[in-house]
Structure 1
C-alpha cells in the first residue's frame, strides 16, 4: 500500500520570505491522502533516491517535463462573483455612479438561479484556468444563489470562501436590490453560515462561510452589530471594503466621526480572520489597529487604479505588521488573472515612489520607499494570501496544501538553456497567460 497518494518531481518556486523566492530544484513533493505536502525532499537528501525508486513506476508519480515548473496556486482575496457578467464595462464612471447605474441592477438579477449558475460556473472555471486555487467571494443579497456559488466551488474543486452580501440600509440601497431589513439579513446570514458549514463536511479542499457586510454605507448599525456577533458565534471569516475611495472614506467619517477601521472594529468586524479590501486611505492609527486585530488587506491594484482615487502605500502598511494578499476585485478589476494584478502591484508602487506630477521636482514628486519587487508581489499572491486567511495554503512546503500550478514555458522567450532559474521565475510572473498553465491542482486533486 502506498504511503503517499501522489509524488511530484520537478523544480518549484515558492516564497522563502516576503522578499526572497526559494528555488526548489528537482525536488520530490510527497502528498498525503488529505492533499497536504508531507515531505519536500531535496536531491541531496538520503531519502530522495529511495522514494524515487519506490514510486517512479507507479501511477501516482508525476514528473514534470522539460521547461515545466511549479508555482503555488494563487489566492484571490477579493472577488465580486456576480460582477463577472459585467467585466470590462463602465470603468470610466465614479464608484457610486458605477454601483447604481450598472452593478446593483446586475446583482439584482441573481435572484434567478439559472442565470446565477451560468455566471458562477463560468467564473470558477475561468479562475481555475488562470491558476487561482482559492477565492474569497462576495456573492449577492440572495441566500439561495449565494449558496449555489459555494456548491459550484465545491464541485469544481476550488477552495471557496463565500459570503452572502448584507446591504439593508434603505437610504443607500435601491428598493429593487437590498435586504428587506436588518433582522431578515441577519437571519438569512446565519442560515447561510450553517448551510455552508454542512457543505464543508463533504468538501476535501474546504468551503467556508464569510460574514459579508458590503461596506458601511450599505448597512444599518443594527445589521453591522449583528454581523459582528455572528462572526464571533461561528468563528467565521469576515470581509468588507474599508476606506476605498474619497467618497466612502468621507461618508463613514461623517456618519460615525471616525475612520472606517475604527467603526468596523466597534462592530466586532476586525478580527484575526478578517480581510478588508482596498484600504487606500488608512491612517497610522488605522494601520496599527489592523496589525493589533490581525486584520488583513486585500490589495486590488488594477481596481484601485480605476476607482480608489489614490495609490495605496502597501509597502509601508506591510512593514507595520499588516498581512497583505492580492485580489482581482472582479469587475472593478477587469481581469480574472492574479498574474496581471501582481504586475500592476509593482507598477503602482513605482508610480507612488516616483510620483506623477511633473511640475514638481523629483524629490517632492513621490513617496520614498514605496516600491515593491516582483518577488514581493508573488509573496502577496501566494503566502501572504494564505496568512491573510489563516489557512495552510500559499507555499510549496511541508505542512501546506498541495495547491499548485504547472507552468509550461516552452512558448516564453527563453532561448538559453543555461538561463538562471531566478530569471525564468521573473519571466513566468510577467509573461504567463492562462494558455501557459498546463495543470492546476487543489488539495492534491487536479482541477485543470
Structure 2
C-alpha cells in the first residue's frame, strides 16, 4: 500500500473503512500503482529490508505489477493479491464480484507470479485472505485447496483485535487459528499477522503445523487492544519474525520494529496501571536486543520457511553495511568503550537510511 499512515488514532474497523479500503481501491488504476510501488520498494531496500511480504490489493494487475517491480529491483518478495468476498463486511466499491471469481483470480495470480520469476526464485505468490470478517467460509475453503495444489505461501491476519477475535468466535464458534486449520490455510508456509489473542490450543496447533507469526509491535500499539505475548511465544519455540505493517505501522524500518519489540516487552513487564503496585505488569516478559535482532533476521527466515537470515552454508547471502562514518549516520561506535553487544544495540536503535551504505540480496548488490 501507499504508506499514507493516516489516522492511526482510529479503531481498526473505522480505520479500514475510512482510509485503508479507499486507498487500496485506487490501485486498480495502474498509473497510480506505477507512481507508488517502485518508490515503496526503493524505500524498503534503502532501509535494509532484503525480504518483504506484501499485502497488495484485490486487483490482480497491480498486484502482479508489484511482483515485477520487486524482481526488477532485486528485492526478495512474497506478494499477495488480497481475497475478500464477504459483501456485508466490505464496501461496495472494494470487494470481489463473487466467490468463484475470487478463487479464479487467486489461481491466475499464483500462476502469473510464478512465471514472473520462474528461474531466480526471488519472488513468490502468496494466497492472501485478508482476515476472517471479509471472507466467506467458501472462499477460505477454496483458497485452502489452491494452497494444497500449488504449495504456496499463505498470509492473513489472526486475532488482531477484540473486534476481529469476537467476530470469528460469534460467527463460527471457533478461533481464527481453528478456522484456518480446518479450511487448509494453516501450513508450514503460513504467516499469521499479529496473533494477539491466541489460546493455548491455538499455540499448540501453530507449533505442530510449523506456521509462523509476524509480530508488528508498533502497529499493535495502535490497533490490537492488547500486547502480543512475545516472550511466551519465543519460550514455546514458535516461529516469530518482525513486521513493520505499513500502513498500520507508520515506519518502514525493521530496525525500528526491533526497537519497538524491546519497548513493547518492557511495557508488558512494567505494566501501565499506576494505581497498582506489586500487581502491576507481567513478570519475566521482556525480550533483549539480541533476541529482537534475531527476530529481524533468522526468526524472519524461519517464519517464511526460507533459507535466509543467517550466515551459514546453504543460506542466501543477504547483507547490508551500516557505516558509522557516512554523512548523516547517527550510529557512533567507540572501540575503547563499546562491547559487541553495545554496538549491536546502537545499530538497532540508531540505524536510519543514511547509515546504510549498501544492501545485498541473494548475492546481488541492490543499493
Q: Which of 201, 222, 231 is residue 147 of structure 2 equivalent to?
A: 231
Q: Note the C-alpha offset of 1:413.
A: 2.7
* 2:348 maps to which of 397, 413, 429: 429
Displacement, 1:417? 4.5
Partner of 1:276: 192
1:146-169, Cα deviation, whole Å (9 max, x unpaired): 000000000000001001000111
Equivalent residue number for residue 51 of structure 2: 134
Equivalent residue for 1:414, pick from 333, 349, 352: 333
After TM superposition, give the deviation of residue 205 of structure 1 in Å. Answer: 5.3
What is the count of residue pairs matched by the alignment? 363
1:330 partner SS: coil
SS at match of 1:325: strand
CA–CA separation in structure 1 for the residues paired with 2:184 and 2:250: 32
d(CA) in 2 for partners of 1:278, 1:114: 32
Q: Which has the larger radius of gyration?
A: 1
1:321 shift after superposition: 2.4
- 1:292 positional shift: 0.9
Do the aligned residues in 2 keep the contact of 1:211 with 1:227 (CA within 8 Å)?
Answer: yes
Q: 1:83-119: per-residue Cα shift (whole Å, max 9, x none)?
A: 42x12x1001000000001111111111100101211
Query: Where in structure 2 are there 5+ consecutive unaligned residues?
Result: none
**Residue in structure 2 matched with residue 124 of structure 1 by the alignment:** 41
Q: For structure 1, list consecutive stretches of 5 or more residues without a partner in the other structure.
A: 1-81
| Structure with greater proportional strand content | 1
Taking structure 1 as the reference length, what is the TM-score of the superposition? 0.80
State the match for 2:106 in structure 1: 189
Within a 5 Å distance, the mapping from 1:89-168 to structure 2 comes to 89-168=6-85
- The whole-number CA distance in structure 2 between the counterparts of 1:117 and 1:181 is 27
Question: Where does structure 1 differ by over 2 angstroms across 4 or more consecutive aligned residues?
Answer: 410-422
- Spell out the pairing of 1:81-96 with structure 2 (5 A cutoff): 82-84=1-3, 86-87=4-5, 89-96=6-13
C-alpha separation in 1, matches of 2:267 and 2:156: 27
* Partner residue, 1:341: 257
**Contact kept in structure 2, 1:210 and 1:236, CA below 8 Å:** yes
For 1:420 and 1:253, how far apart are their aligned partners in 2?
Answer: 49
- Higher normalized contact order (CA 8 Å, seq sep 6+, divided by chain length): 1
- 8 A contact 2:82–2:130 mirrored in 1: yes
- Give the aligned CA root-mean-square deviation in angstroms: 1.1
Q: Deviation of residue 418 (structure 1)?
A: 5.9
Query: 1:156 and 1:118 mapped to 2: Cα distance?
Result: 15
What is the CA distance between 1:416 and its match in structure 2? 4.2
Counterpart in the other structure of 1:380 = 295
